[in-house]
Amino acid sequence: MLQRGTWGRVLDDQWDMEDASVVCRQLRCEEAEAAYTVPRAERGTGPVGLRGVRCAGHEAGLSLCNTSLPEAAGIVEDVGAVCRGSRQVRLVDGAGRCAGRVEIYYRGQWGTVCDDAPQCLGHGRRQRGLPPAELRMGRGGGRLGSLWGGLPKARGHIWLDGVNCSGAESALWNCSAEAWGQHDCGHKEDAGVICS
């Protein structure tokens, strides 16, 4: 939060969906989908702005919620929120902006999509993976599947696995899939796409 010209972290021990809903509303990022505590390795190091936030869920901003004083002791976890409007998708390491490995921005980090069973993107056929309209690059005319040779292997999170789209979805995360972050694959099975 920005307070008196300084950005500060929000720390809490009981962060919940009501609190995350206020954050998403304040950022104009649609509805909250998750409230979480940030893993130790990813915690911030800057000053603390708010501690012990208790929102009812209807407030217009975090500063309107009940909070503990910044000096309050015993609360040490940075908190985060996933808003429906915060997700993004991109293609990387391909031969241009319309080809490459599929990556999704989720919980503040980019991660890949696992593709255990490669299939083609078709024109109206049942397909798995990325709806071409999501990247606004025309109808699917390429292929989706394990990365073709020559692209660097990704590192980091694998966000989605078992993705199964009909092709009519407006976004990749609207397709059926395993729960976010749950997978049984490695980066050698990252999905890629070529758009026409």
Identify the pLDDT of residue 139. 44
Residue 130, number of CB atoms within 10 A of its CB? 29
Nearest partner of 137 among 196, 193, 96, judged by Cα = 196
Identify the pLDDT of residue 133. 44
Domains of the chain: 2-85 (3.10.250.10), 87-194 (3.10.250.10)
Structure tokens at 153: 């292997």
| Tens-level pLDDT at each residue, the chain (196 residues) | 888 888 888 988 889 999 999 999 999 888 898 898 887 777 778 888 888 889 999 999 998 998 876 554 555 789 998 888 778 899 998 888 888 899 998 877 899 998 765 444 433 333 334 444 444 444 443 434 444 455 677 888 999 998 988 888 888 888 899 888 889 888 888 888 888 7
Question: What's the chain's Rg over C-alpha atoms?
Answer: 19
The model's pTM is 0.59
Instruction: Please give the Cα distance from 196 to 194 (Å, whole number).
Output: 7
Structure tokens at 77: 């976890």
Instruction: Please give the Cα distance from 47 to 170 (Å, whole number).
Output: 39
Outline where 28-156 has alpha helix (H).
Answer: none
